[in-house]
Amino acid sequence: MVNDQFGMVGLLTFIRAAETDPNLVALAPGIDLTTLGLNLNSPENLYSTFQSPWADSPCRPQDIDFHVHSEYLTNIFIREKLAPIKLNRYGEDLLFFLFYMNNGDVLQLAAAVELYNRDWRYHKEDRVWITRAPGMDPSIKTNSYEKGTYYFWDAPSWRKVAKEFLLEYDKLEDRPHLPHTLHHNPNQ
């Protein structure tokens, strides 16, 4: 057999080396390209929401600069005249909008905190917001779970949906907290 790097033994040596050397992995078996945050089955083109070569998710809609008349842009002087952002003054609909549209941003966390304050709870497994249906006490209640009718926020249809559900307390997220060292933003 070929006894240098250009035969089967050479390939085998490289494969075995890659099993131990993490630096080689990128090249030897290569990378699972479906894990790079691009929806390769998307019917739409990808480039128009491509965020960055280092980002593992596409742009959020609000990140994409679109050419609009300059009057539409919030000028730094108008900014001072606009009401400050106070989530406790907004309806649930807007809170859910801010939560779902600002992944990876402090706004998502702030919306989660405000929803928690209004007795919504985030189900970590089903990844939905849930709250008690008013006047509907749980039919079963133990110290680890309860069963009853609850309201879910159904994001796809963007409305509250009532559902029978067995609710395990440990699957609910505790009170979320805003990061202490908020990246202070002079414009906010």
Partner 1 sequence: FDDPPGLHEKTEFLLREWVNMYHSPAAGRDSTKAFSMFVGQMHQQGILKTDDLITRFFRLSTEMCVDLCYRALNEQTHSPTLIRAKCFHTLDAFVRLISLLVKHSGDSTNSVTKINLLNKVLGIVAGVLLQDHEVRNTEFQQLPYHRIFIMLFIELNAPEQVLDGINFQILTAFCNTFHILRPRKAPGFAYAWLELISHRVFIGRMLAITPQQRGWGMYAQLLIDLIKFLSPFLRNADLTKAAQLLYKGTLRVLLVLLHDFPEFLCDYHYLFCDVIPPNCIQMRNLILSAFPRNMRLPDPFTPNLKVDMLSDITHPPRIVTNFTNMIQPASFKKDLDSYLKSRAPVTFLSDLRSNLQVSNEPGTRYSIPLINALVLYVGTQAITYIHSKGQTPSMSTIAHSSHMDIFQNLAVDLDTEGRYLFLNAIANQLRYPNSHTHYFSCTLLYLFAEANTEAIQEQITRVLLERLIVNRPHPWGLLITFIELIKNPSFNFWNHEFVHCAPEIHKLFESVARSCT
Partner 2 sequence: PLNKEHLYHLAMLDSSYHHLPHPSDSERLRHYLPRNPCPTAAYYPQL
Q: Which of 16, 118, 159, 177 binds partner 1 (CB under 8 A)?
A: 16
One character per residue 25-64, x = contact with partner 1 (rule: CB under 8 A): -xxxxxxxx--xxx-x-x--xxxxxx-xxx----x----x
The residue range among 20-28, 96-104, 119-127, 172-180 that interacts with partner 1, by the rule CB under 8 A, is 20-28
Please tell me the distance from the alpha carbon of residue 164 to that of residue 151, in angstroms, as a whole number.
9
Which CB atom, from 32 or from 170, has the smaller least distance to partner 1? 32
The two tokens of residue 90 are 């907004």
Which CB atom, from 45 or from 143, has the smaller least distance to partner 2? 45
Instruction: Work out what residue 2 binds among partner 1, partner 2, none; the CB cut-off runs from 5 to 8 Å by kind.
Output: partner 1
Instruction: Show the CA angle centred on residue 173, arms to residues 171 and 177, nearest 5°.
Output: 165
The two tokens of residue 71 are 């009057």
Residue 129: count other Cβ atoms within 10 Å of its Cβ: 24
Please tell me the distance from the alpha carbon of residue 144 to that of residue 127, in angstroms, as a whole number.
19
Contact call for residue 12 and partner 1 (CB under 8 A): yes
Residue 94 is classified by DSSP as: H
The phi, psi pair for 170, rounded to 5°, reads: -75, -5
Q: Which residues bind partner 2 (CB under 8 A)?
A: 51-52, 54-55, 57-59, 62-63, 65, 73-76, 79, 82, 85, 99-100, 103-109, 112, 122, 124-125, 127, 155, 173, 176, 179, 182-183, 185, 187-188
